[in-house]
Amino acid sequence: MKILSKEQFAYDVASIGSYVDQVGGELLSKALIGGTTAKYANVRLGVKGTQALNLLNSTAYFNDGTCGWDPSGTTTFTQSNITTCPEKYNEALCYKDLYDTYQSMLMAPGQTSETVPFEQQIADLKVKQIQQRIEQQLWQATTGTSCFNGLKTLIASGQTGIAVSASGTTFSPTAAYGVNGNPITEVDKLINALDDNAMSREDLVVFMSYSNFRLYVQALVKANFFLNYIGSTDVTSMMEATHPSTNVKIVPTIGLNGSNAVVIGPREYIVIGFDLLSDHEKLVIWYSKDFDELRLRANYNYGVTIAKFGSTAYFATNGLA
């Protein structure tokens, strides 16, 4: 008769490291802020290279209502050019580089692969990076490194038709309303620097960095202005507020991140040029049999300018760098 002995039936895992599931989780891509300025600007499509921006101005003189004909007044057409810079994005992905990584478990069987894992997430991230690049350049570009000057250079002290607010001061989280440095007060001073004709417009927009926008929103809350002034917010794409007792929109842009500059102007007079608006929103990915790799390509162009009418101050800056 077979003798059955009692044994301890249990795993001894003391020498085995903890299991880490590297393929079961969702891929998290880097969070990036997309473009915001184009949503608050006059966008012109079909611009290749340089295109003239046609401006209309008029001076009216009024005479006494007597008999006779007294011609007076002038109608003036002027032009300001908008120049766009072509850019491209090219990248190659060799699927064989993944064979020694966890992503090989997600690949189809065989030694030839015309796709790679997480292809859509890769494409989405690249598109966001392109949009971020454009947003930054619309503000930070200079003719020294690009083919146009960005808005930070165009809307700066010393430029014709650009006003400077009185005693522009860096935003402070502790300054009370009415004191220099209070974000609400600083925006008040920016609006007051504009020409009267500009103040009557219904499309004025204030641009600032994201850090300054958060200080501005905190100042609204402290002053009990948060109700009805802060709309729906999305920190990954767009935030917006309306300055108290005005129709002026307040929006942040990554183009001013790292800067204390705050500017204001009418959205109609901020002109952004693209050839196709969709060019910077799409990325083509294909498998190249010639090179046995996946290739990514995007071609797009962009540029910006502002419309100015002599010395009339339709734009203003706080004068800070």
User: Helix (H, G, I), strand (E, B), or coil: what is residue 57?
Assistant: strand
Distance (Å) of CA 213 to CA 89, 134, 172, 178, 276 = 31, 20, 12, 18, 30
- Predicted confidence at residue 98, as pLDDT, reads 82
State the Cα–Cα distance between residues 256 and 262, nearest whole angstrom: 8
Q: What pLDDT is stored for residue 283 in this prediction? A: 83
Using a cut of 0.85, tell me whether the model's pTM lies above it: no
Provide the sign of the torsion angle of the four alpha carbons 301, 307, 311, 317, taken in this order: negative
> Distances from the Cα of 55 to the Cαs of 60, 69, 81, 203, 275, in angstroms?
17, 29, 11, 18, 21
User: What does the pLDDT profile of the chain (321 residues) look like in tens digits?
Assistant: 555 555 555 544 466 455 444 444 554 544 555 689 999 999 999 999 999 888 787 778 888 888 988 888 888 777 889 999 999 999 999 988 888 887 778 778 888 888 888 888 888 888 889 989 999 999 999 999 999 999 999 999 999 999 999 999 999 999 999 999 999 999 999 999 999 999 999 999 999 999 999 999 899 889 887 665 665 544 434 588 899 999 999 999 999 999 999 999 999 999 999 998 766 667 889 999 999 998 999 999 999 999 999 899 999 999 999
SS3 119: helix
Contact 204, 242 (CB under 8 A): no
Contact 167, 181 (CB under 8 A): no
Q: In the prediction, which pLDDT does 23 show? A: 46
The answer to whether 195 and 315 have CB atoms below 8 angstroms apart is no
Cβ(96)–Cβ(303) under 8 Å? no
Q: Taking Cα atoms as reference points, which of 125, 106, 128 lies closest to residue 115?
A: 106
The counts of H helices and E strands in the chain are 5, 13
pLDDT of residue 117: 81
